[in-house]
Amino acid sequence: MFKGLQPVLYGGREVYPLVEGGKGVSATNHASSGAWAAAGGIGTVSAVNADSYDPEGRIIPQVYSGMTRRQRHDELIHYGIEGAVAQVERAYELAGGKGAININVLWEMGGAQPILHGVLERTRGKVAGVTCGAGMPYKLSEIAAQYGVQYLPIVSSGRAFRALWKRAYSKVPELLGAVVYEDPWLAGGHNGLSNAEDPRKPQDPYPRVAELRVVMREGGVPDTVPIVMAGGVWRLDEWEDWIDNPELGSIMFQFGTRPLLTQESPIPPEWKARLMTLEEGDVLLHKFSPTGFYSSAVRNPFLRWLEARSERQIAFTKESIGDHAFELDVGIGTKKNYWVTKGDLQHAREWFAQGYINAMKTPDDTLVFVTPEDEKIIRKDQADCMGCLSQCAFSSWADNEKNSTGRLADPRSFCIQKALQNIAHGEPVDENLMFAGHAAFRFKQDPFYSNGFVPTVKQLVDRILTGA
């Protein structure tokens, strides 16, 4: 084992301080998390729209038949509970009594609380802890206490943890299993950048984690409660000064990207092959997600399509005001008046000539120019919404009495449920959202993966334990 690294007591047994990241929609399942636990670490089942199975073991397609979004939302919750329960049960069996099994949920996912209750009620004794981020999960400790499991909030700053601790977690301190620091510039998936932080200026994680430990100590949290470093973790020898460091206290490490490329990883072969080809800078920190959060994904043709769509965008006014003195004469197909600048009028005419003949309004009083085919896809995806998020910019769904954000649906975004389900179940990687951490380019550089070698989870964990 790498020098200084020590097992920690978690879930009633000693485990390696190595946590598998619980990656979104079906990118982490029972096979990978069960194997990670069997290797002595903490495996993490993704409880976000997880797959369930028929009696023959085939994945049950998540088909929605409800006529209304609310009806489809209820179906989503049902699928979410059944899928997560199936994944936990299989992972627990694969673990064979070794390591530990956590589940991961997004606080801002649709139906997060009923899904958590439904899963934890049916998996008593099999789930050691719940990791949860993507928002401020104030009720996480309260829910964990009802089922006697540990809770592991995901935060990106000491300030965020302080707010959670003061409002709720201080009431259930004994079940705080760890605090996950997810670096907002390095982690894959959704990132917790605040308005005060510049997405183009990454900060060193060490002082941010040291500050988090100070905040935890102020709240009376003992140093034996680990901080889990998540985002950008590849080799332990690069984090040597973090291990057995009195300033940081107990430290664990979360691996999100590396477990994607294992034999047990459920992602399709095309996705695994693409990971082997990535160069530094191929993962983009962007803000196209309908959650409103920044997120990190491979800059494939799908993301470039979203980038290009937003670039074909102009501001308008309903009256001739200032520079907006030129009436738009292309791209609308209605009798309404849209006033734009001279330069934007020229842009609109150029886009129209290129086939982007339909203009779609955004909530920000702009128009984006798209092809008729693209508008048809956007409209259909918006109409098919099943409320997979607590609120969605793309469809204007919100989990409230009116089931609406009260804002115009935003055509610059996309249906994240569709894109993630598609790529996880074998649809072309170039046409869907491909989450990855910013260290994914290292697959191509790391000699461990030379000649296309894909390790088992056990081989990967053994490799990590050497420091490499």
| pLDDT given for residue 240 in this prediction | 95
Q: What are the C-alpha distances in Å from 5 to residues 42, 44, 122?
A: 15, 21, 35
pLDDT by residue (tens digit) across 290-305?
A: 998 888 999 999 999 9
Domains of the chain by residue range: 8-277+442-465, 301-431
Percentage of the chain exceeding pLDDT 70: 99
Mean pLDDT confidence for 7-24: 91
Of 196, 199, 107, 82, the residue nearest 391 (C-alpha): 107
Query: Is the pLDDT confidence value at 1 over 80?
Result: no
- Local confidence band at 334 (pLDDT 50, 70, 90 cut-offs): low
The position carrying tokens 């009116």 is 402
Fold of the CATH domain 8-277+442-465: TIM Barrel (3.20.20)
What three-state secondary structure class fits 43?
Answer: strand
Distance from first CA to last CA of the chain, Å, rounded? Answer: 11
- Local confidence band at 212 (pLDDT 50, 70, 90 cut-offs): very high
pLDDT by residue (tens digit) across 246-291?
A: 999 999 999 999 999 999 999 999 999 999 999 999 999 988 999 9
Q: Are the CB atoms for 176 and 216 separated by under 8 Å?
A: no
The position carrying tokens 């973790």 is 233
What three-state secondary structure class fits 161?
Answer: helix
Number of residues in the chain: 468
d(CA 387, CA 385): 6
Q: What are the C-alpha distances in Å from 293 to residues 226, 386, 393?
A: 26, 20, 11
Query: Is the pLDDT confidence value at 335 over 70?
Result: no
Judge if pTM exceeds 0.85: yes
